[in-house]
Amino acid sequence: MEAITQGVNNINMATDSHKKNRIQVSNSKKPLFFYVNLAKRYMQQHNEVELSALGMAIATVVTIAEILKNNGLAVEKKITTATVDMKEESRGRPVQKAKIEILLGKTENFDELMAAAAEEREAVD
């Protein structure tokens, strides 16, 4: 896992590799809705969020983006794909992995939808 993390840190697809609004998604570490809720929070703070993933986690990033879009919270601003070189953990041999970055921005009615969801939660409690 460290080799993958190092490989991701060495990628310079974006101008700033340590963006405050970037979420690097993993298949195995957190449940899907952890990332959905984190993306909502990032959009509240920064007006946009960049979802990033390698390999098998790409499907998870696309799912997160589609959930946010279908709920009327986000619009796609940019999608970037690439192939990155990294070392395999077990054997140390070089492998290529697919990478995706999806930049999402807030919709015009994002704040109203978030406020309505907060009111619903308060009504249930």
In a domain, 13, yes or no: no
Instruction: Kindly state the percentage of the chain with pLDDT values over 90.
Output: 64
pTM score > 0.85 for this model? no
In a domain, 76, yes or no: yes
Listed in sequence order, the residues at least 6 apart from 76 whose beta carbon sits closer than 8 Å to its beta carbon are 65, 69, 102, 103, 104
Structure tokens, 27: 């298949």
**57/13: higher pLDDT:** 57
In a domain, 3, yes or no: no
In a domain, 78, yes or no: yes
Q: Whole domain around residue 62: which residue ranges? A: 22-123
CATH number of 85's domain: 3.30.110.20
**Rounded to an integer, what distance in angstroms lies between the CA atom of residue 106 and that of residue 53?**
21
pLDDT in tens, 72-112: 999 999 999 999 998 887 888 889 999 999 999 999 999 99
**Rounded to an integer, what distance in angstroms lies between the CA atom of residue 122 and that of residue 57?**
34
pLDDT for the residue 75: 96
CA distances in angstroms from 102 to 23, 45, 76, 115, listed in the order given: 10, 18, 7, 25
In a domain, 59, yes or no: yes
State residue 72 phi and psi, 5-degree precision: 75, 20
